[in-house]
Structure 1
């Protein structure tokens, strides 16, 4: 209804302005037509006076006709010296004498004549005498036609407004009817019924696009809710295992009135508590990343030193043989978070490798590329995106029973916070390859040909360092 009222108001204003403009132009065109006819006759008589004086005026020129009804020739003393038959004997209009001038008058009244007239006054000079030729044309018929036009517009405009308002009401109502159905359906959708969808009109228009967009939004909300429920369920499941161990031992100690011995604390309680602490820290990091994005403390770091230090740490544990090939690279990033991302990927590769893990690093244009590969059983193509999801679970060959499935999700968040990417492919050794690309930003790739060193200053075994041309970005 509001749209109909607005449309009716706009149409009314537009038609009213158009009608007044048309009446004004009609009035002006009528006046110009009358001024042309009276001016032509007055000029013809004035030209005759200037040639031969008043006696040179032909009586036929004074006769009414050809768009002129009344003519007067007035001398300098204000006397009418010539006039058309039946014209008043006195001057119809008091005019100052001025030769070779044209003046126009509207709404002129003539004593003894009905209606109004338009007049043209033309000055003439003969010898030392001045005359004014006044030609008048009756405007009553023209003004009557203008009034008739105005009345017709006054009747037509309201009718047109009513018709336009009715058409707008019907068309807008028909167009917005699908919106009403969509609104009704949306009001019925609750947080527990996100599987419902709004009806999509058959017409390919903006309403159809709106309905499709809303259905896409509902699909995303449904997926997000399902992901949230899975997340809560998985987090509860992962936390239940260490809590069960800890609570079970404490309940046993409480029931038997016996103290918990130190080996139990070291072998069961403390590892389970640390495992739960790490999981909670990981969940908090991911929650902060979801809410405000992961905060990174940018600084200039030597990425090759970070990679070498992580490889040295794993070697000290004797978990697997690691082959390392790195290029000295300096970049801008958060050293702690990049270290954590590399540690998660390398530890994951070590857990699932049969005997060998390969870590390589080099610069490609404006990014650093770190590749961690293993000779394990690999990851199927269909699951390579899934492993970056939180609490993602694959077969036991790729996940040990103590993992929570958050490691690669954290890697993804850290790499994304640095503007990079993390992808999984197949390694040359038959296992999986995780490739991390990190923008160098304002970094500098060093011109360095000496071997990279670990944090302790020693050259790690099986390390090869390739020279790299220095560049600034």
Structure 2
């Protein structure tokens, strides 16, 4: 049963739950209504009968009681004397046998409650509602009123509720089915919109309903997700396109050198050819390493591979020692949290750029507040291009003219790695040259 229920649609389950709830509510309401209506009608009858009985008792106590007793609404009244005989009564009332025997009269007086009595033995169809009150000198007044019409009214009301309530539930169920269907229509539109989006359909968005409800928020959130996926896809396509373009040059160079060497082997300087091929192979290796580093950064989504204390001064010192042109002007002890290998790659990329463009010297300084500067005395970068060079595969014109120029991934790796470490990088004019300023949060 539970499995069958889970397989049903949301519209069916909501409608079924609402129908069950309405049925229970209507059944409880009908029951309460019948009970309250019956009790109210009986209370009204008891009150009227009690008033007639009290009026007759007052007349009996004062000795002004007439015979027969007259009532306007058909209430039956008997006055029973101390000897148990009927002394007075309304027209048509039994003058020989009281409505209640002596024992029942005593119990009715003791409990002060009305009694139901079958009216057939007294020639009255249906039940009677009997009230008993006592008067002076042992006189007892019995007042009874037929309640057959009340029973008929209650029976009629019960039938109306019995047949009308299911019809009302069916009507409300149909209305609920339509209303729930209209309520779920935006979700159906979202599903159809999502089904229409394929891997070839770009710049598609899901329909957003006008109502500012939960479905509207869901549609907006899904569209934001699609926008992020589209952006990631665009970046991936651009990365693949740029990588293919950068790979084409060294591969074409290697192919050309080998074809020339094999075409004229007798006049070929094989060591020189091997050096050229090795240079292009190293260029391919650096490009592959940079692409792998970017892929790992994208895969981690801005998270660190390792998050541990790192002595940044030791990392800087070890990297700078590999460059004879560089001079370490300051190297204060600094401890940061992050990945030592990633931070070493950051310093290495900055040093490669500085050494590649420097005219004579490269100066490196690390201060105690976690600020690292790498300064060269090269041509520098125009102010309008200092932010653009951090994009992937971005190289300025004078950088492209250099044979030893990179693929334009070094600074992109630097920025994304530093952002993952909670740091930042910017380029400043060194007059002459360029200064790269790296700031990292240090552990105090």
Q: TM-score, normalised by structure 2?
A: 0.72
Residue of structure 2 equivalent to 1:69: 75
Indicate conservation of the 8 Å contact 1:357/1:373, yes or no: yes
- Taking the aligned partners of 1:200 and 1:333, their CA distance within structure 2 comes to 42
Q: Which runs of 5+ in 2 are unaligned?
A: 1-8
Is 1:396 the equivalent of 2:398?
A: yes
Among candidates 336, 345, 357, match of residue 341 of structure 2: 336
Indicate conservation of the 8 Å contact 1:377/1:397, yes or no: no
Residue 133 (structure 1) shift: 6.9
Among candidates 341, 347, 352, match of residue 352 of structure 2: 347
Is 1:408 the equivalent of 2:411?
A: yes
What secondary structure, in the 3-state scheme, does the structure 2 residue paired with 1:280 have? helix
What secondary structure, in the 3-state scheme, does the structure 1 residue paired with 2:310 have? strand
Residue of structure 2 equivalent to 1:274: 282
Is 1:102 the equivalent of 2:112?
A: yes
Q: Deviations over 1:160-194 (max 9, x none)?
A: 45554555555555565565555445433322221
- Taking the aligned partners of 2:35 and 2:162, their CA distance within structure 1 comes to 17
- The verdict on how the C-alpha distance between 1:167 and 1:100 changes in structure 2, with shifts beyond 3 A counting, is closer
- The verdict on how the C-alpha distance between 1:304 and 1:145 changes in structure 2, with shifts beyond 3 A counting, is same
Deviates more, 1:113-122 or 1:325-334: 113-122
Q: Which runs of 5+ in 1 are unaligned?
A: 446-473
Residue of structure 1 equivalent to 2:125: 114
Residue of structure 1 equivalent to 2:5: none
- Taking the aligned partners of 2:13 and 2:338, their CA distance within structure 1 comes to 60
- Taking the aligned partners of 1:333 and 1:423, their CA distance within structure 2 comes to 16
- Taking the aligned partners of 1:439 and 1:396, their CA distance within structure 2 comes to 34
Matches within 5 A, 1:214-225: 214-225=222-233
Residue 20 (structure 1) shift: 4.1
Among candidates 400, 414, 424, match of residue 426 of structure 2: 424
- The verdict on how the C-alpha distance between 1:184 and 1:29 changes in structure 2, with shifts beyond 3 A counting, is closer
Residue of structure 2 equivalent to 1:436: 438
- The verdict on how the C-alpha distance between 1:268 and 1:151 changes in structure 2, with shifts beyond 3 A counting, is same
- The verdict on how the C-alpha distance between 1:19 and 1:92 changes in structure 2, with shifts beyond 3 A counting, is farther
Q: Deviations over 1:359-416 (max 9, x none)?
A: 444455xxx34344556433545762x5444333444348955312222333234334
Residue 344 (structure 1) shift: 1.3
Is 1:304 the equivalent of 2:313?
A: yes
Residue of structure 2 equivalent to 1:449: none
Deviates more, 1:337-346 or 1:12-21: 12-21
- Structure (1/2) with the larger strand percentage: 1
- Taking the aligned partners of 1:197 and 1:328, their CA distance within structure 2 comes to 52
Indicate conservation of the 8 Å contact 1:74/1:91, yes or no: no
- Taking the aligned partners of 2:409 and 2:217, their CA distance within structure 1 comes to 38
- The verdict on how the C-alpha distance between 1:65 and 1:363 changes in structure 2, with shifts beyond 3 A counting, is farther
- Taking the aligned partners of 2:412 and 2:67, their CA distance within structure 1 comes to 106
Indicate conservation of the 8 Å contact 1:393/1:399, yes or no: no
- The verdict on how the C-alpha distance between 1:9 and 1:114 changes in structure 2, with shifts beyond 3 A counting, is farther
Matches within 5 A, 1:282-293: 282-292=290-300
- Structure (1/2) with the larger helix percentage: 2
- The verdict on how the C-alpha distance between 1:18 and 1:202 changes in structure 2, with shifts beyond 3 A counting, is closer
What secondary structure, in the 3-state scheme, does the structure 2 residue paired with 1:396 have? helix
Corresponding residue pairs, total: 425
- Taking the aligned partners of 1:80 and 1:275, their CA distance within structure 2 comes to 131
- The verdict on how the C-alpha distance between 1:217 and 1:337 changes in structure 2, with shifts beyond 3 A counting, is closer
